[in-house]
Amino acid sequence: MSSNYKFHDQERPYFVTFTVIRWIDVLTRREYKDIIVDSLKYSIENKGLQLYAWVIMSNHVHLIIGTNNKPMQDILRDIKRHTSKAIIKAISENLQESRREWMLWFFEREGKNNVNNERYQFWQQGSHPVELSSNGIMDQKLEYLHSNPVTAGWVNEPEQYLYSSAIDYAGGKGLIDIVLIG
């Protein structure tokens, strides 16, 4: 594994990204995003994940994370494994999903190209961790993460987007209990 994809210092927070294979816009339905929210909550409560910021977009997820006991790469591996299986199951059971057959076919095709998969591949490999070694880098990544829904044209202000921690940083209460940065 390239050193570009490793967590060198478990004591520092990291900016990470999960991207749906081939950037497919899957995370457009609330039930799929809620699977990710629930997995993050579970990881906070049971695996030692410290979540500082998050946003779920249509084809990727950005997080600023830390840990207080288990290695970050293990926590992320478990989140990605669980969410990929749960989202694919939700897609397969959702009769209202107009792209259901196509998405399942595509994820299965991609899965066959990777020997690490049982059947499907939902997330791209890696999480591209960026160590947040200074307040400047931390602020830049936090601003970038929360600006994603605004840049996408979904909302006018970051705190208006439900699937993000921007509301917490604006003094409100979001979907997930997070640890506010400085």
Q: Contact 82/39 with Cβ under 8 angstroms? A: yes
What would the pLDDT profile of 128-144 be if each residue is shown by its tens digit?
899 998 999 999 999 99
| Pairing verdict, β 60-67 and 130-131 | unpaired
Query: What's the confidence (pLDDT) of residue 6?
Result: 65
Is the domain covering 3-169 a CATH 3.40.50.200 domain? Answer: no
pLDDT band at 70 (very low <50, low <70, confident <90, very high): confident
The pTM (predicted TM-score) of the whole model is 0.93
Distance CA 3, CA 41 (A): 28
State mean pLDDT over 7-23.
87
